Amino acid sequence: MRLVLFGPPGAGKGTQAARLCAARGIPHISTGEMLREAVKSGTPLGLQVKGIMEQGGLVPDELAGAVVAERIARPDAARGFLLDGFPRTVAQTEILDRALAHSGPIDCVLMLEVPEDFLIRRLLGRANQGDRGEKRADDSEETIRERLRVYQRDTAPVAQVYEARGLLRRVDGTGTIDQVYALLEQALDGRPR
């Protein structure tokens, strides 16, 4: 099964992606995680994207696309995978289509819906949990607002691409982790909510 978990920053994609993947035995492919890893290791890619990520911007489509294409081509992704944080622009949907041309298309795009005031509260909460080890370099208030702006401008249109293909399933992301997970599993079963 080839899945995309889609939604704004702070919607809980990372947590839910890990559970969905564990239940299916498929790799969790998070471009944010892979890019943070590159920054931490100081690779040429990491040096290129560090500043952009710290400011809450999107790294160039070709760079994010290359990271995903390489990851999807590995043997453990042959049975399926879940993409978390990709595609994030309409151009990236096209890069993904090309990367999947020989394996098979995306089966389902799960979209976590969370109102913006809720997201800001959640992200600011995470920003203030630095001493518990969860703080990220891009979790300052200014950066959080920039990431939400970027989401509305560049990423939200991706939903329309998949809606037009009949692949989009919307899920209320405001509940507890367990409640949202149950809704995601239901959406994947195709059962009514």
Residues lying near ligand AMP in the complex (CB under 6 A): 9, 31-32, 35, 52-53, 56-59, 64, 85-86, 88, 92, 138, 147
CB of 74 to ligand AMP, least distance (A): 18
Residue 146: CB minimum distance to ligand AMP, A: 9
Tokens of 111: 């979209």
Pick 113 or 186: Cβ nearer ligand AMP: 113
Compare residues 52 and 90 and give the one whose CB is closer to ligand AMP: 52
> Cβ closer to ligand AMP: 21 or 138?
138
Residues recognised as catalytic:
13, 88, 126, 136, 147
d(CA 47, CA 27) in angstroms, rounded, equals 26
**Residue with the CB atom nearest ligand AMP in the bound state:** 32
For 27, the 3-state DSSP assignment is coil
Residues 95, 42 contacting (CB under 8 angstroms): no
Smallest distance from the beta carbon of 32 to ligand AMP, in angstroms?
Answer: 2
Looking only at Cα atoms, what is the longest distance across the chain? 47
State in angstroms the smallest separation of the CB of 189 from ligand AMP: 26
- Find all residues with CB under 8 Å of 136, minimum gap 6, and list them: 36, 126
With respect to ligand AMP, which residue has the nearer C-beta, 121 or 193?
121
CA distance 12 to 143: 18
Nearer to ligand AMP, 60 or 186 (CB): 60
Smallest gap from residue 193 Cβ to ligand AMP (A): 25
| CB distance 63 to 54 below 8 Å | no
SS (H, E, C) 143-154: HHHHHHHHHHHH
91 within 8 A of 19, measured Cβ to Cβ: no
Map residue 51 onto helix, strand or coil: helix
